[in-house]
Amino acid sequence: MAKLYFRYGTMDSAKSLNLLAVAHNYRKQGKRVMLMKPRLDVRFGTAKIASRAGLEADADLMIDEDTTLDPRDFAGLDCVLVDEAQFLPPQVIEDLRRITVDPGVPVICYGLRTDFRTRLFPGAQRLMELADRIEEVKVTCQYCAKKAICNLRFVNGTPTVRGPQIQLGADESYAPVCWAHYDEATKHASAEASGAVLRPS
């Protein structure tokens, strides 16, 4: 039986780059790949999947809150690749799980595991519950050599734990950090209004 994979990592861990490389390799071998992404991710354009390294490709399917996947639409594919999977509704994750059984197509999902408060995204939670294989895409902390496991959000250069769970942004809004630097920064998040900034140790 084909498998459902969840490859997760913090911001800046090259998840989209990994996805685009996998898509390139499949297509180079003459195999059929479908690229998917949530419609709400418009950072690089409505249908664009892009990496900070400059690689990009168009998504074949955009996912909304009310999307239902029909297994018949995936017959004949060799692989399904999903970008920003943490933003997918849990029911779409369940549809992807079913696609690995019938018609039996492997599905590889890339995304964040947790938000800037270290809480699971609903899509990521369902993937953690249903995936056959869970693999970490690693990157080091922005402020030290330890492994980054948290996504630190900034507003005007100041760390924050306030705001909606979903807030699209790039390098100016988020940083991959280890737990020690996340804890240090968020302990002082209440000082945002005074202009406090993270000072790595």
Domain residue extents for the chain? 4-136, 150-192
Residues contacting residue 68 through CB under 8 Å, at least 6 positions apart: 91, 92, 95
H helix or E strand, kind and range, residue 108:
strand 107-111
Q: Is 135 a catalytic residue?
A: no
Q: Which of 171, 136, 137 is nearest to 153 (CA)?
A: 171
- Quick one: pLDDT at residue 194? 47
- Quick one: pLDDT at residue 191? 55
Instruction: Please name the CATH architecture into which domain 4-136 falls.
Output: 3-Layer(aba) Sandwich (3.40)
Query: 84, 129, 135, 192: which one is catalytic?
Result: 84
Chain mean position to CA 167: 13
Distance in angstroms (rounded) separating the CA atoms of residues 149 and 112 = 10
Residues contacting residue 28 through CB under 8 Å, at least 6 positions apart: none
- Quick one: pLDDT at residue 17? 94
Written as tens digits, the pLDDT of the chain (201 aa) is: 899 999 999 999 999 999 999 999 999 999 999 999 999 887 767 888 988 777 889 999 999 999 999 999 999 999 999 999 999 999 999 999 999 999 999 999 999 999 999 999 999 999 999 999 999 999 999 999 999 999 999 888 888 887 767 666 555 688 999 999 999 998 876 554 445 444 444
Q: Are the C-beta atoms of residues 113 and 86 closer than 8 Å to each other?
A: yes
Global pTM reads 0.87
